[in-house]
A and B are shown apart, each in its own frame.
Chain A
Amino acid sequence: MFVLAMLYEVLPVVAALAVVAVLAVPIWREKLPLPPRLDASSRPDAVMRSTLASGAAFLVLFAVTVSVMRFRRMRLGGEDFAWWRYSIPLLAACLVLLAVAVLLASYRRQPAEPVAPTHPRTWRSFTGSSQLWLLGSCALALILFVAFAGSASSPDEEGRYRLLVIDTGATGGMVADFFGWAYGLPAAAAALLLLVLTVLVLHLNAVRPFLAPSSVRGEEASRSALSSMVVCLGAGAVLLTLARALNTAAGAAGVSLASEGYSFDTTLAAASPWLLGMSYLVQFFGLSLLMIVVAIAALRPQPQAATVHD
């Protein structure tokens, strides 16, 4: 168990090394959306990329902090109930997307030379179907797990569903802190808010007028890069939340009680190792996505052909 706990703590390092290793291979590095070099006075795209990368870096640091706290048996927010305990990554991502949305909405400038549109541009115009599937499936997985964990949870003395009970019948029971409705519903609501904000940012990013015919290709490439970062940030935040929820559920499910010569397990005892393994896997993918956001922002801007998904 100590080795597994250590693994959880070093996961961010493993994910960082994995991302660096992947980006070291030129063929894979070229698959990343490369932001083009745009006229500095033309667009706030660089500022938005920095904002998204800062948000992603914050989430990575947050994950490291939580891992260290867990390793030292400390809990975020103390022992008291705090509805936001599992929703912090989602709420932080919402704040970052809100800041990007404000930047996009507040930056209005007449094009130097208007570019007549040839096709409708929507929130999907610069985002690949695979990226949308990624974000959608992550959010769906979180919501499904909230429903699963919520239905297995029991209320505490104040009626908050945040416990997993070992029922021993007449001999008395035992409770373990669990990811029940009390934590799951705020997390699900924050995930839905994140989805709405993601669509809003993708929409605002797409409908901006182009500055001039000569800059259309560069601007399209920049919008593609920005859309990828937005989707990866959202998916990464959702996966970090799901990983923490899975980890807590695994810990609670693995609790057993010895009483009067008998050993009592939770109803989820058999799923405990699976939940733990899933939490590591999900954490790894979430951290990798967030580090990809940082990597895109860190790449040297260069001219590149646009990727437009009709």
Chain B
Amino acid sequence: MTEYSAERITAHFRGLILSGRMGAGDRLPTVRQTARDLGVAVATAAKAYRALESSGFVVTKGAAGTRVADQPSVLPGVVLGHVRDAVAEARLSGISEPDLLSAVQAVWRDAT
């Protein structure tokens, strides 16, 4: 079973926001639900939410819960389109998610 760390949870929600799957004002699952779903301690999920808040992706307003910030950073449409195309092609070709991510990371390193 894959263990979820606070960093990985943060990356999961950052991915949802950057890809536009979660828009401004959308509500995040409660910390407790995230912890339960991922089988981690509530403190671990809370740490991830604090990291998202400090980086400006989300805002927490008491009873209103944690919501995506009004003007979240979203990938430019062109980039997002290429990412979606790459994922679709990879799935068609039977390439796994970790392999695709590894390839993207390698390409990123080469370009920098």
Contact = CB atoms under 8 A, between A and B. Distances in A.
A116 B12 contact: yes
A117 B39 contact: no
Contacts of B21: 118
Interface in A45-64: none
Q: Is the interface of A mostly helix, strand, loop or mixed?
A: loop
A113 interface: yes
A203 to B, nearest CB: 11
B37 A111 contact: yes
Interface in B73-99: none
A114 B29 contact: no
A147 B26 CA distance: 42
B27 A117 contact: no
Interface in B1-55: 1-2, 4, 9, 12, 16, 21-22, 26-30, 33-34, 36-39
A121 interface: yes
Given A110-B39, A111-B37, A120 B4 contact: no
B1 A114 contact: yes
Contacts of A111: 1, 37, 39
Contacts of A120: 27-30, 33, 65
A116 B36 CA distance: 10
A115 interface: yes
B47 to A, nearest CB: 15
A112 B39 contact: no
A220 to B, nearest CB: 13
Main secondary structure of the interface of B (DSSP, over half): loop
B39 A114 contact: yes
B1 A113 contact: yes
A207 B2 contact: no
A181 interface: no
Given A118-B22, A207-B36, A113 B2 contact: yes
Contact of B36 (A112, A113, A119, A209): A209
Interface in A119-160: 119-121
A110 B1 contact: yes
A118 B14 CA distance: 11
A209 B22 contact: no
A210 B30 CA distance: 16
Contacts of A118: 16, 21-22, 29
Contacts of A110: 1, 39
Nearest to A112: B1
B13 to A, nearest CB: 8
Interface centre among B9, B21, B36 (most CB of A within 10 A): B36
Nearest to B66: A120
B29 to A, nearest CB: 4
Contacts of A112: 1
5 contacts: A118-B21, A120-B29, A120-B30, A121-B29, A121-B33
Interface of A: 110-121, 207, 209-210
Interface of B: 1-2, 4, 9, 12, 16, 21-22, 26-30, 33-34, 36-39, 65
Given A111-B37, A113-B2, A116-B34, 5 more contacts: A111-B39, A114-B38, A116-B9, A116-B38, A119-B26
